[in-house]
Amino acid sequence: MTMDEGDANVRKTFKPYKEPFTITKTTQVSAYAERSGEKSSIATANFYRRPNHWSIDVKPTAYPQYTAGGKLALIDGINGAVNWRKGEWVGYWGQDFEAVIDMQSPQQITKLSSTYLQDSKAWILMPKKVEYYVSMNGKDFILMKTVDNTVDPKDETVQIKDFAAEILPTEARYVKVKAYFFGKLPEWHQGAGGDAYIFVDEISVK
């Protein structure tokens, strides 16, 4: 059985699998096996259609445990949840985050944003600031906006913050995002002296 956004009010039932099928949009696929009248539990998987054809180049190397399946997770339109242990966030340890998005052709931009997570007890802190740059050739970048962090590093609430920046309509093909990691954990932290993580998920260009 498949369910996509257009099936929200449609009554659907399971049908026997006889041949391969094609999905062309974000879809949830559910299936079970049956033999001699006995049914297995239902297995469900979500398949997401990317909202763009952009490519992305990321400068730092993600921490091996926190890759979210690869760098395309940063521009796939899927937002990470507060429960970061589900694996939806890309984590970087002891280094600044820098990524360049190629939108394949010049686009008019009015808003730039990227989303970060803080779980202070787990050494994951908001970046000190995030900078947004644009370019037409991928080499010469112009700084458009700097967004400073407003979340207290001592706040132990697990939380998400969107570092969003409104800009005047600007045409560009490339967007660079640079987030500066917190640095060494301070004396008041249980991991004092260790490096903080940056956890980033979705980068949005509108």
Where in the chain does DSSP place strands (E)? 2-4, 27-31, 34-35, 38-39, 43-47, 55-58, 90-93, 97-118, 129-135, 142-148, 159-180, 197-205
Q: Convert the pLDDT of each residue in 153-187 to its tens digit.
A: 999 999 999 999 999 999 999 999 999 999 999 99
How large is the average pLDDT for residues 111-120?
A: 97
Give the Cα separation of 124 and 161 in Å (integer). 13
The single-letter DSSP state of residue 184 is: B
End-to-end CA, the chain: 34
| Model pLDDT for residues 51-89, shown as the tens digit of each residue | 788 999 998 899 999 999 899 999 988 889 999 998 999
pTM of the predicted model as reported, rounded to 2 decimal places: 0.82
As a whole number, mean pLDDT of residues 85-114 equals 96
Selection from 205, 167, 161, 181 nearest residue 98 by Cα:
181
